[in-house]
A and B are shown apart, each in its own frame.
Chain A
Amino acid sequence: MGLIQVANSLIASGSEVQSVKLESCITTDDVYMLVGNNIIVGGAGGICDIQPLVDSTIDTTSNIDIAWINLNSSGSFQKFGNANQDIWRVTDGMNLTPYATNFIMYLYNWNSSSEYAFITMEVTSHNGSNLRGYQQGGVKTETTSFNGVEIHTNQTGGGGFQAGTQFTLYKVV
């Protein structure tokens, strides 16, 4: 398997943000791999969510179906499924360094105008209390051709995603 980088965003000190857009980088029917590395925020708590883009516009239609199991080091694993939501959730347990979140997310058919957009996602993170991470599958039940991805947090401390947080998108070849 080869990986060709098509987009990257590394948060720099002084440029903390709550939203990152990787725009106009999904341009073929190939599989893409989105990597979130060392995702940290400026305050304990908060979520990290993902939505698809058409150019710079977020598709907020509530037609995302998901199912996940939450692996964790503190107790029984939670299983969850839901239909018609508007985001893919990476985690709801953001925290300050060194309690980071990391994930690998594969994107299938995102650029297709005839197929639904699917994802698989694996997360490994620490929320300050315990190790946890979703093993997740999902689908957006529309045939829009997406060409980018947006990642955001609702954590406002320090401006959101902190320096060192990185999102990189690769085409799988």
Chain B
Amino acid sequence: MSNLRLINETLVTSAVSTVSVTDVFSADFDIYKVTCENFSNSTGAQNIDLKFINASGSVITSSEYDWAYLRLNDYASFTEARNTNDTNWENFWGKDDSASGETQNAVAYFFNPYSSSSYTFGLVQSSNALNSQLQGIKGIGVLTETSSVTGFQIVFNSYASNNGKIRTYGLRVDS
């Protein structure tokens, strides 16, 4: 049996400005893999950000999100971006768009979100089509607080997204 265990599958089938995936991080696992497929909207290109959700079910909005990413572009030089003490991991998931076939896709790993003694770290890679162009993100992030995180929120920055699938896996370690 695989040590990668599917915990949750969330589908986006109607227009939403955020998607909250709750109660997926627990004491059962330290490391999680999340895949996002085929986000798209009806209006235009937009960033897709990440916020975490604490054990009380509240979105963590404190200014303790540090992030950095390299954006690989097929039309221009690669772009560097970074910030500290932000209120989210900006553009963590990449971008989606409205044109046919132009969607967002990403895979991320989260380390120790549930721990109340460790920071929550993340890794992400994404591949996104928008404005007839390709962009890809290679990014990292840390939430510099030790509160127990139990879920995450995907934030569509400008427009409602109306399609997509999010899968959350736990990476089991057998002692």
Partners in one complex: yes
Q: State which residues 94-120 of B face A: CB under 8 Å.
A: 109, 111-112, 115, 117-119
Could you tell me if A124 and B66 are in contact, using CB atoms closer than 8 angstroms?
no
Residues of B within 8 A of A135 (CB): 70, 138
List, in ascending order, chain A residues with CB within 8 A of B66's CB: 73, 126, 130-131
B interface bracket (residues with beta carbon within 8 Å of A) = 35 or more
Are the C-beta atoms of B140 and A100 separated by less than 8 Å? no
Q: Which of A4-12, A140-148, A152-160 contacts B (4 or more CB under 8 A)?
A: A4-12
Please tell me which one of the listed residues B4, B141, B173 contacts residue A131 in the complex, with CB atoms under 8 A apart: B141
Q: Which residues of A contact B (CB under 8 A)?
A: 1-5, 8, 10, 35, 37-38, 69, 71-77, 97-100, 102, 104, 122-126, 130-133, 135, 164, 166, 168, 170, 173
Q: Which listed residue (A3, A38, A98) contacts B171, Cβ 8 A?
A: A3
Q: Provided the pairs A38-B112, A76-B80 are in contact, do residues A69 and B4 lie with their beta carbons within 8 angstroms? A: no
Contact A71 B30 (CB under 8 A): no
B142 touches A126 (CB 8 A): yes
Partner of A97, one of B68, B118, B141, B173: B118
Instruction: Write out the residue numbers on chain A whose beta carbons fall within 8 Å of the beta carbon of B144.
Output: 126
Q: How far is the CB of A101 from chain B (nearest CB, A)?
A: 9
Does B82 lie within 8 Å of A74, measured CB to CB? yes
B172 at the interface (CB under 8 A from A): yes
> Is B118's CB under 8 angstroms from A38's CB?
yes
Give the residues in chain B near A72, CB-CB below 8 Å.
68, 82
Complex CA–CA separation, A72 to B67 (angstroms): 8
Q: Are A98 and B117 in contact (CB under 8 A)?
A: yes
B2 within 8 A of A: yes
Nearest 3 CB-CB pairs, A to B? A2-B2, A102-B111, A124-B140
Contact in complex: A37, B111 (CB < 8 Å)? yes
Contacts A35-B171, A100-B119; A131 near B70 (Cβ below 8 A): no
Minimum C-beta distance from A86 to chain B (A): 26
A97 to B144, CA, bound (A): 11
Q: When the two chains form the complex, which single residue of A37, A75, A99, A125 contacts B31, counting CB atoms closer than 8 Å? A: A37
B111 in contact with A73 (CB, 8 Å): no
Q: Are B2 and A77 in contact (CB under 8 A)?
A: no
Which of A97, A102, A123 neighbours the largest number of chain B CB atoms within 10 Å of its CB? A102
Q: A71-B70, A124-B141 are in contact. Are A98 and B119 (CB under 8 A)?
A: yes
